Amino acid sequence: MAEQLTELQRVILEVDALGLTVRDSIKQVSSRVGFFVGQQRYQEELVKGQAMVLEGEAPDVVGTEAARGEFVPAEAG
In a domain, 77, yes or no: no
In this prediction, residue 43 carries a pLDDT of 97
3-class SS of residue 48: helix
In a domain, 76, yes or no: no
What is the number of structural domains in the chain?
1
Find out whether 41 and 4 touch, Cβ atoms under 8 Å.
no
Predicted structure pTM score? 0.69
8-state DSSP, 21: -
In a domain, 28, yes or no: yes
- pLDDT tens digits, the chain, 77 residues: what are they? 347 899 999 999 999 999 999 999 999 999 999 999 999 999 999 999 999 988 875 554 555 555 555 545 555 54
In a domain, 72, yes or no: no
In this prediction, residue 18 carries a pLDDT of 95
In a domain, 75, yes or no: no
In a domain, 47, yes or no: yes
In a domain, 48, yes or no: yes
